[in-house]
Amino acid sequence: MQIIRKFFIVVMALFLPYFILSQYTFKELDSIINRCSLDSTRFYLEKQKAKAKSTSEYFRFYVNNAQYYRDIRDYKESLLYLDSSLSYIETEENKGVYFQNKGLIRFFQLDYNKAIQDYQESLLYFKKGDKRASTFHSLSNVYKKISEYDSVYLYLKKAKTSFVEKENPIGYGVVLFDLAGYHFNKGQYDSSYFYYTEALEIYQRENDKIRQGKTYTLLANVYWAQKDYNEAIKAAHISDSLNCIMGYTEGHLISILTIAKIYQVTEDYDSSIYYLQSILNEQELNDKYVAIKQHTVSSLASVYTARKEFDLALKYQQEALSYAKLLGDLGSEVVSYYNIGEYYLAKEDSINAKKMFLKAYSYKDSVVKLELMKAVSEKLAKLYDTENKDSALMFYKAFNFYRDSIKNFNVQKELEINQLKTNALQLADQLSKEKKAIMSEKKQKNVIFFGVAMIIIVLVIVLLVLRRIRQAKVVLEESLSSVSNEKKENELELKKFKKYIQSPEASKALLENLSTDKDWGRFMIDFELLYPNFFTSLILKDGVSLTKNDCRVAALMHLKLSNKEMTEVLHITLSGVKNAKARFRAKLKTS
């Protein structure tokens, strides 16, 4: 009996999971696949395949497979599965899903132009709702990668208006989070703070502690940028607590790294070293977190440099270099070589310093970091100045080139053009060498034959190039037409907004209830829409250091409010208004 009982238990253990899984419907398996780990996804996909009966279910099955292979970075297989779903598309929404997923694959393949085309195509089928909003959000991410920040802002605003907060609060919160990041990168810290706190309120309502932790980390960066270091450290500690509660190791490490860097800025080097070393002592700091290791040892090198402990600085910078090579991060490699060269210079070891700077300079065609390359060129020019005038002159020319490029040109476009010119010259040189080799091998009797062959090859290349140019022109015209239509829509909306905002009712509404920083944050955003770059032009004036109150007074003066009206808005006395205006004018006169 005991043997039979054990046999029964073993059989149940083996077959019970399959029995339970067989009870799941296709839709339930769809939900499981969206939530389970990558290791389990293949198993559930096989179960889903057996359950698929209708055309729509087969479409979902192939899309799920495409998403799985995209997640494991097998983009070729992902596209194959996605294209297999085409024959099962029955609805307009599924067409949109197809193009949306294709755009995401193109995005991960770094083919940003095709990603934009696919996302734009999906918008033709998503007329409203979360899918349309998420596509706008995806487009903002693509434009962020190609540094077209006006388009980033445009599509983030479209995503914000398309999301329904009550239906998808997390999606709406993520858009607010990215808007905050956009304003942070623009140096508009009040607006950034406003959007981060709005996103944080949503994450707190939804009890999403992971996103709360990330938001607190970036709020710490806002406080940091505003030089409110105590609040920055406090926000980073809150982020760390939330990450530890959720067992989110990466978030925990980033929070600690943020705290260490803030202490570094405040020149509390002992505290900075304590937190940086605590990261390196973490038991869970495995190969998954190589990027964090690289940032940590690089920060340690900076701290020890500030303390003039160059041997330790050199040790950690060499570690940072090894991690950068492991990551394939060419930009960090150049920075590491440059910093190591600086350490050797500090130790008066010009030979090794020169080697490191030459290593850094060798990346000039691969890394678009013009400020860094300008500094490297200058160092090399000075090192060679006393021993090799020709080399020194070459590096001085490189220094002038990078300096002028930074000042006068669209750097990215110029480098792309230069790269294309270099490729064209290399190709022409290669063709010339091949032609000479063929001519010498076949001698005079084959001159005509090979001449004709070369002409045919060139004609074919020209025809192919012309064909590609025509195709690119068609695509460009379609994109320009789409952008033009959207621009017209936006201009129409802006005209309506300006007409409204210039009305007495709008001015009154704009100036009501301006008692808190949050109210002023909204006011300044609306004010910037009507008077673009008003605050930026004030803040960027040489020698002018304006407070928040100065900016508020400037805005109210620009609106031509009387002193009495300003007392009501600012909640101060008439003499207080006069003093505030006088201080503001005095600051402008001293600039």
Q: What is the DSSP string of 151-175?
A: HHHHHHHHHHHHS-TTT-HHHHHHH
Q: pLDDT (tens digit, 9 = 90+) per residue, 438-447?
A: 667 666 767 6
Q: Is the model's pLDDT at 301 over the cut of 70?
A: yes
Confidence of residue 379 (pLDDT cuts 50, 70, 90): confident
Residue 427 has a pLDDT of 46
Pick the residue with more confidence: 324 or 25?
Answer: 324
Q: What is the 3-state secondary structure (H, E, C) of 507-545?
A: HHHHHCCCCCHHHHHHHHHHHHHHCCCHHHHHHCCCCCC
Residue 6 has a pLDDT of 52
Confidence of residue 21 (pLDDT cuts 50, 70, 90): very low
Residue 422 has a pLDDT of 60
- The 10 Å Cβ neighbour count of residue 7 is 10
Question: How many percent of the chain have pLDDT more than 90?
Answer: 19
Confidence of residue 353 (pLDDT cuts 50, 70, 90): confident
Q: pLDDT (tens digit, 9 = 90+) per residue, 106-142?
A: 998 889 899 999 999 999 988 888 888 889 999 999 9
Q: Is the model's pLDDT at 516 over the cut of 70?
A: no
Confidence of residue 432 (pLDDT cuts 50, 70, 90): low
Q: Is the model's pLDDT at 420 over the cut of 50?
A: no
**Who contacts 490 (Cβ-Cβ below 8 Å, separation ≥6)?**
154
Residue 437 has a pLDDT of 66
| Mean pLDDT of the region 172-197 | 92
Q: Is the model's pLDDT at 518 over the cut of 60?
A: yes
Pick the residue with more confidence: 515 or 322?
Answer: 322
Global pTM?
0.56
**Who contacts 559 (Cβ-Cβ below 8 Å, separation ≥6)?**
507, 511
Confidence of residue 470 (pLDDT cuts 50, 70, 90): confident
H/E stretch holding 461: helix 447-501
Measured CA to CA, the distance from residue 542 to residue 545 in angstroms comes to: 9
Q: Which two three-digit tokens encode residue 53?
A: 């009966």
